Amino acid sequence: MDTTRHYKNHFEDYSTSVSHNIIENNCMIHDEFKSLLTLEIKKLMKTLKENEKKWYNNDDYSVYTGSAGIAFTLYYYGKYYNDSAYIKTATDILKKCATNFKSKHKVTFLTGVVGPLALAAVILYSQGKKEEMEQLIFNGVSYSSSNHCQSPLMYSWHDKEYIGGAHGIAGVLYLLLQARHYLTQVQIDNYLKPSLYYLQRLQFSSGNFPSSTGNPSDKLIQWCHGAPGISILFCLAYKVFEDNTFLETAIRCGEVTWERGLLKKGYSICHGVAGNGYTFIYLFQQTKDVKYLYRACKFAEWCFHYGSHQNRCPDRPFSLFEGLAGVIYFLLDVQQPHLAKFPTYDITIEQ
């Protein structure tokens, strides 16, 4: 096995004997493990706060790598532990972000098409402009047709047809599925479902996916590229369409993530162990199989040793998607796995 990108997973897989002090019989996190989570979260939050001056480097106010993302974690922490001081700090940071966005006439949200699509889905709902959502479908159809793609929907970023959750079609489909109530049944049947079936055909025998179309490399196992982000998509696809093959695809993604998901790259939610841990949270939510909750807890346990297992320091070491803030967010989510959601990736749209 090529272990140049990941550490060998020496964690014992789920059994009742190894999970008795991690998971309760009712599929809730055991108080003993929850205490460990709280201890580590507070320790990591202390480190984050001690480096506050470094949050604002390079005038980055984005959710992805800037202070807005850190504010998102502070708010979540404050809500979970009922600490108003963190909520106030988060509010103050976001006010500063809003002021700077206004002065620069520029608003950024994550990277690539996925973030803007998430915002579009929410904004379009509030305005009731179904035709704008249809335009998003039209763009994917137009690109696919013009470039003779095998998938009825396809998008490109930096001249590549990416597959994964951050920059690729998997992320677009995930958000379109959440906004499916604004699409016609014809659009769902002719574009969304066939695009999902197209993605299934790209899955490697290992369970992983290529990072882009035409790329034969089976290397990247991270939320932004590879099985982890795509597993989340197919969990939702199974919930929506009740097609067992979608769940099978998600489960195969989960197996390769368990095997190869302890990354040497680090701990981040975008391309690290914390992001890979969300694979198991979503599989647990969909299947109710306690094995996946146990696996999420073991990836969380790996994060207890933050900084010890990575071959380089992140470019933005305190940010939500590349750094410490995202790890804290993941550990908070593990404490309440039934409600957990990958930050900024899930949208709530009322009907």
Q: What stretch(es) of the chain map to CATH 1.50.10.10?
A: 1-125+262-350
Q: How far apart are CA 347 and CA 339, in angstroms?
A: 13
Fold of 1-125+262-350: Glycosyltransferase (1.50.10)
pLDDT of residue 1: 53
Q: Is residue 270 marked as binding?
A: yes
Local mean pLDDT, 10-residue blocks, the chain (351 residues): 83 96 93 98 97 80 82 93 94 77 43 38 47 71 78 79 88 89 90 95 98 93 96 98 98 99 96 98 98 98 92 87 97 97 79 50
CB 182 within 8 A of CB 175: no
Query: Does the annotation flag 271 for ligand binding?
Result: yes
Residue 100 pLDDT: 67
Give residue 98's pLDDT.
Answer: 66
